[in-house]
Amino acid sequence: MHPLRGHRSYLAFLGHRLSGLALAVFLPCHFLALGLALEGAEALDRFLIFAELPLVKAAEWGLVVLLALHLFFGLRVLALEFTPWPSRTDPRLAWIVPGGAAALVVGLVFLVQVV
Amino acid sequence: MNSDHVGLLTVRVWRGREEGRFETYRVPARANQTVLDVVTEVQRSQEPALAYRFACRVGVCGSCAMTVNDRPRWTCRTHVARVREEGILTIEPLRNMPRIKDLACDLTPFFEKWQKAGGRHVATASRRDPLQKIDPRSKPRLAASAAIECINCAVCYSACDVVSWNAGYLGPAALNRAWTLVNDARHGARHETLDRAFADGGCASCHSQGNCTRHCPVELSPSESIAGLKRSALFGAPKLREPA
Ligand code: SF4
Ligand code: SF4
Ligand code: FES
């Protein structure tokens, strides 16, 4: 990685931005699935069978992790924009690694519950 | 500059403008040598036509900044020993500004953005008026003082990826300047400065990547100043209280 970019707050920016973009791509599919439920049981059933495929399950897991990551990194952004910083050069750096870890824990819970 | 050297240092220096190439030079490696010393030695002993800027050599004027091994730095206060990689130094002009010649770039866009961000002080009193009293411990004054010592070196501007993605972005230095004025009781256009700093291309474009704060050689935190501007744009400029 370029030496300008290999530090925590840059990586947090990347994580927040890329997970946000991925969610923007995913959400229309999610609403499509919900929309199918309105159209009748058959269409929804077909979609649900598709959603049981292992690859789709794996993608779902990824999306849950991304959603959690976006949430935790987003909370950090809110904190650093709305509350005073611990020190002038510390944009709540200490929240970044736990935020990423918490997203993985959420992913783990999803694995145990769903798969 | 005579016999005090210990081996040779390989230096790759950018020659040309936007189009150009790296030329490689070998200069004596010396104890306590700064990157600016190296550039000067190349210019004096091997490449008289090499263009670069400096003035004070002691970290005050802000004119000597260059990209050294991919990161922007003030070269007069950067020791070679701290930044060389496997004995090699790669020196280029700053990023995010047009290159004029060799290591010098055109800072016009950088300074134009200071104006655009409302960075010009507007006086509220003349020399005939009594001195305005400012409480040095008031919150706004502390915020302004924390951000005021900028040497206009453009290191933060060069480090910022948002500037390189969005040519209209005012950048960390101009916004840091705007923040000092928004907190300055003696500035006659605090609200106008805040409006300008929040306009298109202003503080809302910052993604809090923090490259500016990591690289500022005088340890300012433009990133924190920008967070202050964002807050003020939503909740109003900092309240100033006259000292009793
Ligand atoms: S914190 Fe904002 S201004 Fe500073 S480098 Fe990052 S994006 Fe640029
Ligand atoms: S804020 Fe720091 S890095 Fe940016 S121009 Fe001022 S002194 Fe240089
Ligand atoms: S030459 Fe003045 S700051 Fe480096």
Residue range(s) defining the domain that contains residue B52 = 5-105
Residue keyed to tokens 């944009």: A91
Pick left, alpha or beta for residue B62 (phi over 0 → left; psi -120 to 50 → alpha; otherwise beta).
left
Do B116 and B86 have their domain in common?
no
Mutate to test the pocket of ligand 2, among B63, B110, B152 (most ligand atoms within 8 A of CB): B152
Distance of CA B212 to the CA centre of its chain: 9
Domain end marker among B88, B105, B122: B105
Contacts of residue B219 in chain A, CB cutoff 8 Å?
89
What is the Cα–Cα distance from A74 to A12, expressed in whole angstroms?
A: 9
Do B236 and B223 have their domain in common?
yes
Cα Dmax for chain B: 64
Do B67 and B113 have their domain in common?
no
Q: What is the dihedral of CA A13, A14, A18, A21, to 10 degrees?
A: 40
What is the Cα–Cα distance from A42 to A29, expressed in whole angstroms?
A: 18
Pick left, alpha or beta for residue B134 (phi over 0 → left; psi -120 to 50 → alpha; otherwise beta).
beta
Q: Are B237 and B182 in contact (CB under 8 A)?
A: yes
**CATH 3.40.50.300 matches A9-114:** no
What is the Cα–Cα distance from A77 to B195, expressed in whole angstroms?
A: 22
Do B139 and B60 have their domain in common?
no
Which stretches of chain B drop beneath a pLDDT of 70?
Answer: 1-4, 242-244
Lateral strand order in the sheet of B65-68: B20-30, B5-16, B88-92, B65-68, B71-74
Residue keyed to tokens 């918490």: A102
B156 touches chain A (CB under 8 A): no
Do B70 and B120 have their domain in common?
no
| Domain ranges across chain A | 9-114
Do B205 and B122 have their domain in common?
yes
For residue B244, give how far its alpha carbon lies from the nearest alpha carbon of chain A (Å). Answer: 26
Sign of CA dihedral B240, B175, B153, A4: positive
Cβ pair B208:A81 closer than 8 A? yes
What is the Cα–Cα distance from A34 to B53, expressed in whole angstroms?
A: 62
Token pair listed for B122: 């507007």
Do B81 and B201 have their domain in common?
no
- C-alpha distances in angstroms, B196 versus B105, B114, B119? 26, 11, 9
pLDDT confidence of residue B85: 78
Instruction: Tell me, using a 6 A CB cutoff, whether residue B155 lines ligand 2.
Output: yes
Token pair listed for B30: 């010396």
B67 touches chain A (CB under 8 A): no
What is the Cα–Cα distance from B120 to B180, expressed in whole angstroms?
A: 11
The contacts found for B164-167 with CB under 8 angstroms, 24 or more apart, are: B164/B95, B164/B96, B166/B201, B166/B205
Do B117 and B198 have their domain in common?
yes
What is the CATH number for B131?
1.10.1060.10
Do B98 and B169 have their domain in common?
no
Per-residue exposure over A34-44, b if at least 16 CB sit within 10 Å of its own CB, e if not: eebeeeeeeeb
Write the DSSP assignment of A32-59 as a string of letters.
HHHHHHHH-HHHHHHHHHHHTSHHHHHH
Do B150 and B64 have their domain in common?
no
pLDDT confidence of residue B65: 98
The helix or strand, by DSSP H or E, that contains position A71, with its residue range, turns out to be helix A54-82
The helix or strand, by DSSP H or E, that contains position A69, with its residue range, turns out to be helix A54-82
Among B99, B25, B92, B102, CA closest to B65 = B92
Q: Which residue of B has its CA nearest to A93?
A: B210
Which stretches of chain A drop beneath a pLDDT of 50?
Answer: none
pLDDT confidence of residue B3: 54
pTM value is 0.89
The helix or strand, by DSSP H or E, that contains position B99, with its residue range, turns out to be strand B99-101
What is the CATH number for B22?
3.10.20.30
Token pair listed for B75: 């070269």
Q: Which residues contact A44 (CB under 8 A, 6 or more apart)?
A: A33, A36, A37
Length of chain A, in residues: 115
Do B41 and B62 have their domain in common?
yes
pLDDT confidence of residue A77: 94
Domain end marker among B80, B105, B130: B105
Ligand at shortest distance from the CA of B160? 1
Distance of CA B179 to the CA centre of its chain: 15
Q: Are B25 and B46 in contact (CB under 8 A)?
A: yes
Domain count, chain B: 2
Do B59 and B169 have their domain in common?
no
pLDDT confidence of residue A111: 87
* Separation of CA B48 and ligand 2 centre (Å): 30
ipTM field:
0.80
Query: Of ligand 1's atoms, which has the minimum distance to the CA of residue B208?
Result: 1
